[in-house]
Structure 1
Amino acid sequence: MAELLGRRERKKAATHRAIADAALELFSQRGYDAVGVREVAEAADVSTATLFKHFPGKEALVFDDDVDDEAALVAAVHDRPAGYGIVAALREHLRAALGPVPADDVRRRRFLALLESSAALRDYSRRRWLRHEEALTTAIVEECAGRVHPTTCAALAHFVLETRGMLAGESHPVEVLDRRMVLLERGWTAHVPARSGL
């Protein structure tokens, strides 16, 4: 039984990847707006119904599952080095994501080019990113353990996510991120106990 379930999961993952790859290929060749969902299904050799079992809509075809993004944000807060502040840890996490893409990572380069080419995809990406607010708030509240009011923790989570969401189109995103995070850090430290490591 376990072997059968394992085979099903592998097949499901392979189908998911085939659809995503077909979508990226078609969107990169012809542009996001010029390609229909039915064409993607045909290119991946699946039915439209199967495509929608894996992806809720056309925009989602471009993006991998965002569970990993959320887990990484939460880990940036919980697993930061001792004495390292929450804002500093989140800044470093966001900076790492903005680093240069390796030359051999063709898929990532194509994805970023496609994202820049479509206002609809940029908007979807931003909305998708902001869905992590509740999980990030919870992580910050847990780390503060009652030493900072939960509404302040929620505000920090919101503004950190918004800060990254506002970087689209910036020619020097790391510099802009750093300037904005300095503002957040100053506001945050006004609300945290001295020498708390928060």
Structure 2
Amino acid sequence: MPETPTVGRRERKKAATRQAIADAALELFLEHGFERVSVRDIAEKADVSTTTLFAHFPSKEALVFDREEEVEAALTAAVRERPKGQGVVEALRAHALTSWVAIASDPRLDRFTALVDRTPALREYGERMWMRHADALSAVLAEELGREADDLACSALARFVLEVPILAKGRHDPRATVETVFDLLIHGWQSQHDAKNAGTGS
């Protein structure tokens, strides 16, 4: 029993150190550019050794996408741990509304996006990360729905869902954007189109 508080403190300290490193890295990258900042610069700003830095982050690119594992875990948990009776798409809609709308509305997002867009190494890393998330989500969807691991519908749904943050970025009302995209996923293009035409009398 006495071990539990010690482990808790240790984990909190590790998390705080990791966050401090990530914050220092992003601040330096935004100010000077990704290529002009060294790992040593980041370690000095975060007041840690380079050994400690690499214990938390396997690469310089990973410092920019510091929440990669957390994002993927939350995404798959949204499907696995959804309330009884809730469909997988509705579960993903709820996750998007609680997690992604806030990100799309973050005033720092434009600077972060610009940093990634102008840095080939970050664009490549981001694309690989996106595909890993898509594969992980597709796998959990197939598992939950009793489909084959390579089910095309699950793969397509996973990729569509992961486009939602991109579509919401820069929109006047990110929440309405998320709702519209998920309505389209649930009801389909044709029914949405028909409903709109019926409302206009065309």
TM-score after normalising by structure 1: 0.67
SS at the partner of 2:42? Answer: helix
Question: Which of 92, 112, 116 is equivalent to 1:115?
Answer: 112
**What percentage of aligned pairs have identical amino acids?**
48
Equivalences for 1:84-163 in 2 at 5 Å?
84-100=86-102, 112=109, 114-118=111-115, 119=117, 120=119, 124-125=125-126, 127-146=128-147, 150-163=151-164
Q: CA deviation at 1:40?
A: 1.2
Higher relative contact order (CA 8 A, sep 6+): 1
Question: Superposition RMSD on alpha carbons, in Å?
Answer: 3.6
SS at the partner of 1:20? Answer: helix
Q: CA deviation at 1:94?
A: 0.7
CA gap of 1:68–1:152, structure 2 versus 1, over 3 A, is same
| CA displacement 1:56-107 (0-9 Å, x = unmatched) | 3333223324222222212211222233221111112111123447xxxxxx
Q: How many residues align?
A: 178
CA distance in 1, matches of 2:98, 2:123: 20
CA distance in 2, matches of 1:55, 1:15: 11
CA distance in 2, matches of 1:27, 1:81: 41
Provide structure 1 residue ranges, at least 5 long, that are not aligned to the other structure.
Answer: 102-107, 189-198
Residue of structure 2 in register with 1:21 after alignment:
23
Provide structure 2 residue ranges, at least 5 long, that are not aligned to the other structure.
Answer: 190-202
CA distance in 1, matches of 2:12, 2:96: 31
1:157 aligned partner, one-letter code: A
